Amino acid sequence: MKILLVIPCLRERERLPAFLPGLLAALATVPAEVLVVDDGSGPAEQAWLSSYIASLRPTWPALLPPLLGPRNLGKGGAVYAGWAAAPHHTHLGFIDADGAIPPTEAARLCALAPQFPDSALYAVRTGTANTQVRRHPARALAGSFFRLLVTALFRFPLPETQCGCKILPAAAWRACAPHLREQRFCFDIELTWHLLHQGTPIQPVPVNWSEIAGGQLRAASVLAMIRSLIQLRRHLGPWQRPAASSH
């Protein structure tokens, strides 16, 4: 098993250095490589990122040279671009650059992957299994509303879809890839629909999670997410559990 863990970045000069070295250290005993994908942050930011990654690679050989996008595609677009550049990995994953999910939790998901080789592993913020979730009350309320909306529209058998770390079999993603259109904030939902539709099991994994300041999500982004959600619902319909065989 060989895992590629993509970190999608859009102007993460402030937060990435506080997260990436700890992630690389936590992954030292896990069969994983890390690819930072810049989502069109511009020449100055990309020059900084290239220099920063180059300074870390002598110490951390599992860190690959960054993938620098010429234009902004959205978080999902950056994740998919990284996954498409990984033809020899058996499993593909991503983790947000902000460090809300601690490096040790990302390493724990990677270490769990061999136990569920044919399943997708989704980090979830449930506060169960001795995990803690720390979030600003207003954002927690907005997150709860969004989860309820996703549940009502799509009926996924999951506690949530938006937590920023997932690992799945590369073959499962490649089977989904021709059908994937959404590249921004709701890409997780479209990906989840297609994984379930093709029969890929999804294992929710409760994780510790702490909100980190400085994210790109704004009120306009929330409205755009809701519009994208409704468009996805019209395009895909609700997920339906396959009918049990009568034999």
User: For the chain, which ranges sit under pLDDT 50?
Assistant: 244-247
pLDDT digits (tens, 9 = 90+) for 139-169: 788 888 889 999 999 999 999 999 999 999 9
Q: Which is it for strands 91-95 and 32-38: parallel, antiparallel or unpaired?
A: unpaired
What pLDDT does residue 87 have?
85
Domain map of the chain by residue range? 3-236
Q: CA dist 24 to 108, 111, 115, 154, 213, Å?
A: 13, 14, 22, 36, 22
pLDDT digits (tens, 9 = 90+) for 2-39: 999 999 999 999 999 999 999 999 999 999 999 999 99
**Architecture category of domain 3-236 in CATH:** Alpha-Beta Complex (3.90)
Looking at the whole model, is its pTM more than 0.85? yes
